[in-house]
Amino acid sequence: MVRALRIGMAAVLCLLGAATAQAATPASATVGSSGEWRTVELPGTSQFDLHSRQTDRRYRIFVSTPQGEAPAEGFPVIYVLDGNAAFPVAHTLARSAERVGQRRQPGFVAPVIVAIGYPQDGQFDDQARGEDYTPPAPNLSNTGDRVSLRQGGADRFLAFITDELKPTIEARIRINRSRQTLVGHSYGGLFALHVLFTQGDAFQRYVAGSPSIWWNERYILQERPRLSAEVAKSTRLLITVGSLEQTAPAGPAGDSRAAMLTERRMVDSARDLAADVNGDPRHPLATQFQLLEGENHHSAAFPMLRRAIDFALAP
């Protein structure tokens, strides 16, 4: 039986973007049958920690499963990076899609969500993701990263997913191996592109949200020609980016960020890459590009997840 994942109330509200104010509870008020505040439980979810031989790192894996028995072909599966931050939203969206899909689409099969995070209370482990999500470029001396001390471990991290995590999931849940999607944002989007271009048969659909194309003097563009014709025929790509990711906010804080945003060209780079891959005369890859109006680099992650689930489940 799947046990409920427990997560802090404040974290859920923050992740879902709820604009709420926590009111003080009078001493005389009764809160629940026991009178105690409790953590939120997400039914239909579970989590476990898994140590990787490939990276020598421990990961926290969050899983959301549909109700009912798996069909003979198995459930589609969506692997989501930055799992500590993304999982509550991805779970809620997937289960909402399950309810709507079952009412409106005959034969609809809901997805399993597998979110990959780290064993910590915070939303992001900057050091771990900085290493895990970035490609193994020959020269890592000028990547433009201002936080992570180690980088270039993407192939080891991918080996963890394919050789250790996937078998662990498939031993417990019947998975449709022909309907696997990888979803990442920022460095996670960079990782999704790296996997697609270099080992694209690992998944059938890829979502690169606000991908860090700027990393290491746009090294990912050097990997793009490695996309195989066979992968291009059988794979789909969605690239999203917030419309404000190239615009500095007003005020002194914006002034200090303007040069960086101009150099990174988040919007232009994402749009150009989508057009380039989709229009490749040798072996074009079916690619969608979506500009998320009114979203900056941080807020774009959440509407990206909604579009990612729709994209993963589309015929």
Kindly give the interhelix angle for 301-313 and 83-104, rounded to the nearest 10 degrees.
Answer: 40
Torsional class of 286: left (φ above 0), alpha (ψ -120 to 50), beta (otherwise): beta
Partners of 236 in the beta sheet? 205, 286
Scanning the structure block, which residue is given the tokens 């140590």?
51
The sign of the dihedral angle between the CA atoms of 256, 258, 263, 267 is positive
**Distance from the Cα of residue 1 to its chain's centroid:** 26
Q: Which residues have CB under 8 Å from 100's CB, separation 6+?
A: none
* Catalytic residue positions, numbered: 186, 245, 297
Chain centre to alpha carbon of residue 280? 26
The residue type found at 62 is: F
Please report how many Cα atoms fall inside a 13 Å half-sphere around the Cα of residue 263, on the Cβ side. Answer: 11
- Closest-CA residue to 300 (of 207, 185, 217, 130): 185
